[in-house]
């Protein structure tokens, strides 16, 4: 231990050490204790100097107190410890060379000043801190307010500017607010909306779940729902919407409001309805089309036990003739008229009429007693066609063949039912048309469907299933055979011999008629040539070949004919091409050109089935024809004796007109000698019919001609 006594500096430091040890534990500072002591040392020095100063300044104590606050000795305990320390040790360590009593007084005054300075500093600091906090709070609050304002402004803008309708209502359904889009959708004003209740907005077409979902939402059991819903506008029209309703809860999660967002789908819905209408209705007649009919039929066939269906399948008789001879516009008008009439036949619930295409219509009846109803329906349909249809001042007779199918639901599919109806309709047509027939399962099984025939047609030509029969054409004056008409047949592997009425329309439809027609022409020309070789003394036998309208428009017609005649070595004069009247009436020059070319070469052109096509007799002059073939319907009127005088007059008129135009007249369908005699008297030139011979093999004709020649 050093004997050297401590200097004043050492003592000052010791005071600082004691002070720091007393206060450090209650100080919230990040300094270490020695570092803290270093901070206190200058304060200790100031106190020491104040204590010993010539003139005493208690204010030094104030600044030391304030410095303590600045040094984070803000704990109340820190001040009292500091004062205790000053009280006990300041005079002891720093006032050894002065009068003790005066030093003690000074120390006491310094302590008071320290306390005052400390309190002052602490208050200021607290104030400053509070101010900072409140300032911060203020700043924060205004930032929040601004943000709120912003978001509300944004919300307002969205609310008002939205193209979608937005409405807010309370949970009782009282409407509180609506945006402009919603008002525009409804076509009402804010006032008229505000007083209203959501629950008033029922609509006849509301789906059952619409109001159930609503109840669940307002009870707080569901957060939102989405439905398609209609509303009545004030003017009574319907507003269709996609509606989304959401539940709005308050800060505590309790249901508070309902928010509705609605999108106006009225236009889209109308468009969809329109598109659906167009997809399911026939543009010409406005009747339901095949698609819609199949939907209904399938529904009827899927109906429950005890339910039945009845179906009438109608095909107009001879519609093609009308279409060909009067033009498509007239044909269309006829179809529209027929459609209207049919529509009025099936007006009861569960009944419908549809157009399947072309001149084919269907009428459907459903329910438990269709056995009776379908019969009545078929009767009404036949009746509806009785009155002629007036088009362009002409009364057109409309006839139709109907196939009727009736049965219980749940047994057959739509396609099968329709097939049966089609077959039955065909049976009605084969039986002469203008009637209805009832479906018969056995007949169905045997029936030949048009579809089946159509698909078999192309192969039939390749396989040589077609053959030709010839029906003699007889000169009425002397009874001699002048030639024959070639009539094609199809020897079908399953169905036996099919007449041309069964497959020619199908061949026309598929285009096969062109190669088939060429084949017939080739065969017939070869046949005619062979007759001439074998029968030179009976005069040249001619051959008549039928041309279908499709062949007329085919560009190869003239060249094919020329080639065939040359190849087979037959004179053009020995060939007559028969074209139906309906194919030529209204024909333009382009269509007539090939026929004119053929006529110039010497080929005869005959107007077939004359009298069925509503043609204008004055038109005959334009046509390159040399023969009129009077339709069978004229000869039919002469079957009974005495013949119908009106028929006689008509035929007489036609014959004299034809002759005045240099046309020869051939009559078809002569079945009796009486008819033949009548027609001869009336001046007809040639005849054809069962009275002379049915169509048969080519050898028969040769024999007949030979008999002629001999007899
Ligand atoms: P079409 O040219 O008027 O032929 C006359 C039709 O009357 C034939 O019927 C014939 O068998 C029938 N027939 C003849 N005499 C009598 C009779 O005394 N009484 C009755 N009730 N009928 C008689 P088919 O053979 O059934 O021919 C029907 C139609 O098919 C023909 O009418 C013709 O338009 C068409 N056709 C026939 N062969 C061909 C062909 O090779 N090509 C084209 N495009 N059509 C053909
Ligand atoms: Mg013919
Ligand atoms: Mg004919």
The CA-based angle 493-495-497, given to 5 degrees, is: 85
* 34 pLDDT higher than 50: yes
* 537 pLDDT higher than 70: no
Ligand 1 atom 23, closest CA:
669
* 616 pLDDT higher than 70: no
Cβ neighbours of residue 210 under 8 Å, at least 6 residues apart? Answer: 227, 229
Report the domain count for the chain. Answer: 4
By the CB criterion, residues less than 5 angstroms from ion ligand 3 are: 608-609, 668
> How does pLDDT run across 238-262, given as a tens digit for each residue?
999 999 999 998 888 899 999 999 8
**Residues 213-217, mean pLDDT to the nearest whole number:** 95
Count each helix (H run) and each strand (E run) in the chain, helices first: 26, 21
| Mean pLDDT for the chain overall | 88
> How does pLDDT run across 271-316, given as a tens digit for each residue?
888 888 888 999 999 999 999 999 999 999 999 889 999 999 999 9
> How does pLDDT run across 266-281, given as a tens digit for each residue?
888 888 888 888 889 9
Q: Which of 145-149, 226-230, 323-327, 642-646 has the highest mean pLDDT?
A: 226-230
Whether 444 is in a domain gets the answer: no
Q: Are residues 538 and 481 in the same domain?
A: yes
The structure tokens 């052109």 sit at 605
**Strand partners for 610:** 630
Last residue of a domain, one of 439, 467, 498: 439
Residue 319 maps to which CATH number? 3.30.70.270
Pocket test for ligand 1, best of 461, 557, 560, 668 (most atoms within 8 A of CB): 668
Ligand 1 atom 17, closest CA:
669
Ligand 1 atom 11, closest CA:
695
Q: Are residues 657 and 518 in the same domain?
A: yes
SS3 366: strand
Ligand 1 atom 21, closest CA:
669
Ligand nearest to the CA of 501: 1
Whether 148 is in a domain gets the answer: no
- How many other CB atoms are found less than 10 A from the CB of residue 643? 18
* 706 pLDDT higher than 70: no
Return the ligand 1 atom nearest residue 471 CA: 14
Residue 239 maps to which CATH number? 3.30.450.20
**Strand partners for 497:** 491
What CA–CA distances, in Å, run from 501 to 65, 475, 490, 602, 674?
130, 27, 11, 29, 28
Percent share of the chain, pLDDT over 90: 50
For β-strands 575-580 and 604-610, DSSP reports them as parallel
Q: Quick one: the chain helix, strand, coil %, rounded to 5?
A: 55, 20, 25
Residue 685 maps to which CATH number? 3.20.20.450
Whether 136 is in a domain gets the answer: no
Whether 645 is in a domain gets the answer: yes
**Residues 175-200, mean pLDDT to the nearest whole number:** 85
pLDDT-derived band of residue 708, with 50, 70 and 90 as boundaries? low
pLDDT-derived band of residue 453, with 50, 70 and 90 as boundaries? confident
Q: Is 165 in the pocket of ligand 1 (CB under 6 A)?
A: no
> How does pLDDT run across 365-391, given as a tens digit for each residue?
999 999 999 999 999 999 999 999 998
Q: What is the pLDDT of residue 562?
A: 96
Look up residue 396 and give its two tokens. Answer: 């057109």
Question: Could you give the CA distance from residue 648 to residue 638 in angstroms, rounded to a whole number?
Answer: 8
CA-nearest of 590, 595, 593 to 607 is 595
Q: Are residues 182 and 265 in the same domain?
A: yes
Phi-psi region of 629 (alpha: psi -120 to 50; beta: other; left: phi over 0): beta
Question: How would you write 533-598 as a 3-class SS string?
Answer: HHCHHHCCCEEEEEECHHHHHCCCHHHHHHHHHHHHCCCHHHEEEEEEHHHHCCCCHHHHHHHHHH
Cβ neighbours of residue 249 under 8 Å, at least 6 residues apart? Answer: 255, 256
* 702 pLDDT higher than 80: no
Ligand nearest to the CA of 487: 1
Half-sphere exposure of 551 (CA within 13 A, CB side): 27
Q: Is 339 in the pocket of ligand 1 (CB under 6 A)?
A: no
Return the ligand 1 atom nearest residue 551 CA: 44
The structure tokens 């209502």 sit at 169
**Residues 566-589, mean pLDDT to the nearest whole number:** 89
- DSSP letters, 391-423, are ETTEEE--EEEEEEEEEETTSS-HHHHHHHHHH
How far is the centre of ligand 1, averaged over its atoms, from the C-alpha of 487 (Å)?
6
Q: Are residues 538 and 654 in the same domain?
A: yes
Q: What is the pLDDT of residue 3?
A: 46
pLDDT-derived band of residue 5, with 50, 70 and 90 as boundaries? low
How far is the centre of ligand 1, averaged over its atoms, from the C-alpha of 683 (Å)?
23
CA-nearest of 474, 485, 527, 480 to 706 is 480
- How many other CB atoms are found less than 10 A from the CB of residue 397? 13
Last residue of a domain, one of 252, 280, 308: 280
CA-nearest of 453, 407, 399 to 425 is 399
Q: Are residues 460 and 431 in the same domain?
A: no
Q: Is 671 in the pocket of ligand 1 (CB under 6 A)?
A: yes
How far is the centre of ligand 1, averaged over its atoms, from the C-alpha of 11 (Å)?
151
* 711 pLDDT higher than 70: no
* 2 pLDDT higher than 60: no
Q: Are residues 273 and 306 in the same domain?
A: no
Whether 134 is in a domain gets the answer: no
Whether 146 is in a domain gets the answer: no
Q: Are residues 203 and 327 in the same domain?
A: no
The CA-based angle 269-274-278, given to 5 degrees, is: 150
- 643: DSSP letter: P
Alpha carbon 467 to chain centroid, angstroms: 48
- Residue 32's domain spans which residues? 8-125
Pocket test for ligand 1, best of 472, 500, 636 (most atoms within 8 A of CB): 500
Ligand 1 atom 46, closest CA:
546
Ligand nearest to the CA of 696: 1
Q: Are residues 32 and 49 in the same domain?
A: yes
> In 602-697, where does DSSP find H-type helix?
632-636, 645-660, 673-681
Q: Are residues 496 and 610 in the same domain?
A: yes
**Strand partners for 473:** 483
Ligand 1 atom 4, closest CA:
487
Q: In what order do the strands lie in the sheet with 435-438?
A: 351-357, 360-367, 308-317, 399-408, 435-438
Q: Are residues 114 and 180 in the same domain?
A: no
pLDDT-derived band of residue 145, with 50, 70 and 90 as boundaries? confident
Question: Could you give the CA distance from residue 17 to residue 34 in angstroms, rounded to a whole number?
Answer: 8
Q: Are residues 339 and 467 in the same domain?
A: no
Whether 334 is in a domain gets the answer: yes
Q: Is 609 in the pocket of ligand 1 (CB under 6 A)?
A: yes
Q: Is 504 in the pocket of ligand 1 (CB under 6 A)?
A: yes
Q: Is 517 in the pocket of ligand 1 (CB under 6 A)?
A: yes
Q: Are 264 and 240 in contact (CB under 8 A)?
A: yes
**Residues 80-105, mean pLDDT to the nearest whole number:** 85
How far is the centre of ligand 3, averaged over its atoms, from the C-alpha of 670 (Å)?
12
Q: What is the pLDDT of residue 709?
A: 54
Ligand 1 atom 25, closest CA:
487
**Residues 496-519, mean pLDDT to the nearest whole number:** 92
Ligand 1 atom 35, closest CA:
500
Whether 309 is in a domain gets the answer: yes
- Point out the least confidently predicted range of 48-52, 198-202, 579-583: 579-583
How far is the centre of ligand 1, averaged over its atoms, from the C-alpha of 690 (Å)?
12
Q: What is the pLDDT of residue 131?
A: 81
pLDDT-derived band of residue 1, with 50, 70 and 90 as boundaries? very low
- Its pTM stands at 0.54
Q: What is the pLDDT of residue 136?
A: 74
Q: What is the pLDDT of residue 613?
A: 66
Look up residue 606 and give its two tokens. Answer: 């005959």
Look up residue 475 and give its two tokens. Answer: 């000169």
Q: Is 669 in the pocket of ligand 1 (CB under 6 A)?
A: yes
How far is the centre of ligand 2, averaged over its atoms, from the C-alpha of 689 (Å)?
12
* 4 pLDDT higher than 60: no
Question: Could you give the CA distance from residue 123 to residue 691 in angstroms, rounded to a whole number?
Answer: 142
Q: Is 625 in the pocket of ligand 1 (CB under 6 A)?
A: no
> How does pLDDT run across 473-484, given as a tens digit for each residue?
999 999 899 999
Question: How would you write 466-534 as a 3-class SS string?
Answer: EEEEEEEEEECCCCCEEEEEEEEEEEECCCEEECHHHHHHHHHHHCCHHHHHHHHHHHHHHHHHHHHHH
Q: Are residues 272 and 317 in the same domain?
A: no
Stated as kind and residue range, the H or E segment containing 431 is none
Question: Could you give the CA distance from residue 625 to residue 584 in angstroms, rounded to a whole number?
Answer: 10
Q: Is 577 in the pocket of ligand 1 (CB under 6 A)?
A: no
* 98 pLDDT higher than 90: no
Last residue of a domain, one of 78, 110, 125: 125
């Amino acid at each position: 231990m050093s004997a050297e006594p401590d200097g004043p500096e050492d003592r000052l430091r010791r005071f600082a050490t004691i002070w720091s040890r007393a206060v450090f534990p209650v100080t919230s500072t990040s300094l270490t204790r020695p570092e803290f002591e270093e901070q206190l040392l200058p304060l200790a020095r100031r106190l020491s100097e104040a204590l010993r100063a010539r003139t005493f300044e208690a204010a030094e104590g104030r600044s030391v107190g304030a410095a303590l606050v600045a040094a984070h000795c803000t704990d109340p305990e820190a001040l009292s410890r500091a004062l205790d320390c000053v009280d006990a040790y300041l005079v002891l360590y720093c006032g050894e060379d002065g009068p003790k009593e005066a030093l003690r007084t000074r120390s006491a005054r310094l302590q008071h000043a320290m306390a005052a300075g400390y309190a002052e500093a602490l208050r200021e600091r607290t104030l400053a801190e509070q101010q900072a906090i409140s300032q911060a709070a203020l700043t924060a609050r205004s930032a929040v307010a601004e943000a709120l304002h912003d978001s509300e402004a944004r919300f307002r803008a969205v609310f008002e500017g939205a193209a979608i309708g937005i409405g807010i209502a309370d949970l009782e359904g009282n409407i509180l607010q609506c945006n402009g889009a919603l008002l525009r959708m409804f076509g009402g004003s804010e006032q008229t909306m505000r007083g209203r209740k959501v629950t008033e907005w029922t609509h006849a077409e509301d789906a059952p779940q619409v109001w159930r979902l609503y109840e669940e939402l307002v009870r707080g059991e569901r957060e939102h729902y989405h439905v398609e819903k209609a509303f009545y506008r004030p003017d009574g029209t319907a507003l269709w919407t996609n509606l989304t309703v959401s539940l709005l809860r308050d800060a505590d999660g309790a249901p508070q409001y309902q928010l509705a967002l609605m999108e106006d789908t009225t236009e889209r819905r109308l468009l969809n309805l329109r598109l659906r209408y167009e997809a399911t209705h026939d543009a010409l007649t406005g009747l339901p089309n095949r698609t819609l009919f199949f939907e209904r039929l399938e529904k009827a066939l899927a109906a429950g036990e005890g339910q039945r269906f009845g179906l009438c399948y109608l095909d107009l008789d001879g519609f093609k003739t009308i279409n060909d001879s009067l033009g498509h516009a007239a044909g269309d008008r006829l179809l529209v008229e027929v459609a209207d009439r049919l529509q009025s036949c099936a007006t009861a619930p569960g009944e419908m009429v549809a157009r399947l295409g072309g001149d084919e219509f269907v009428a459907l009846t459903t329910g438990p007693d269709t056995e009776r109803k379908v019969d009545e329906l078929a009767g009404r349909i036949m009746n509806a066609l009785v009155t002629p249809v007036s088009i362009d001042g002409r009364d057109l007779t409309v006839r139709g063949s109907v196939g009727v199918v009736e049965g219980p639901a749940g047994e057959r599919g739509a396609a099968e039912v329709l097939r049966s109806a089609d077959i039955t309709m065909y049976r009605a047509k084969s039986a002469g048309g203008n009637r209805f027939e009832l479906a018969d399962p056995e007949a169905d099984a045997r029936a030949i469907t048009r579809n089946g025939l159509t698909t078999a047609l192309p192969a039939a030509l390749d396989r040589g299933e077609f053959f030709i029969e010839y029906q003699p054409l007889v000169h009425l004056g002397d009874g001699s055979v002048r030639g024959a008409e070639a009539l094609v047949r199809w020897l079908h592997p399953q169905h036996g011999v099919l007449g041309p009425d069964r497959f020619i329309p199908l061949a026309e439809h598929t285009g096969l008629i062109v190669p088939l027609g060429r084949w017939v022409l080739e065969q017939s020309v070869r046949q005619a040539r062979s007759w001439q070789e074998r029968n030179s003394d009976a005069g040249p036998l001619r051959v008549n070949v039928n041309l279908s309208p499709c062949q007329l428009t085919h560009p190869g017609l003239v060249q094919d004919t020329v080639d065939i005649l040359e190849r087979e070595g037959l004179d053009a004069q020995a060939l007559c091409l028969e074209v139906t009247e309906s194919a030529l009436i209204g024909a333009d020059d382009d269509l007539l050109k090939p026929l004119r070319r053929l006529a110039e070469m010497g080929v005869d052109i005959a107007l077939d089935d004359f009298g069925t096509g509503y043609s204008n007799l004055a038109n005959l002059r334009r046509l390159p024809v040399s023969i009129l073939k009077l339709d069978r319907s004229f000869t039919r009127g002469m079957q009974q004796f005495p013949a119908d005088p009106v028929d006689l007059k008509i035929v007489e008129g036609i014959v004299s007109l034809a002759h005045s135009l240099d046309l020869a007249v051939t009559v078809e369908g002569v079945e009796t000698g009486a008819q033949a005699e009548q027609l001869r008297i009336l001046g007809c030139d040639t005849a054809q019919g069962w009275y002379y011979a049915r169509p048969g093999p080519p050898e028969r004709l040769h024999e007949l001609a030979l008999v002629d020649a001999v007899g």
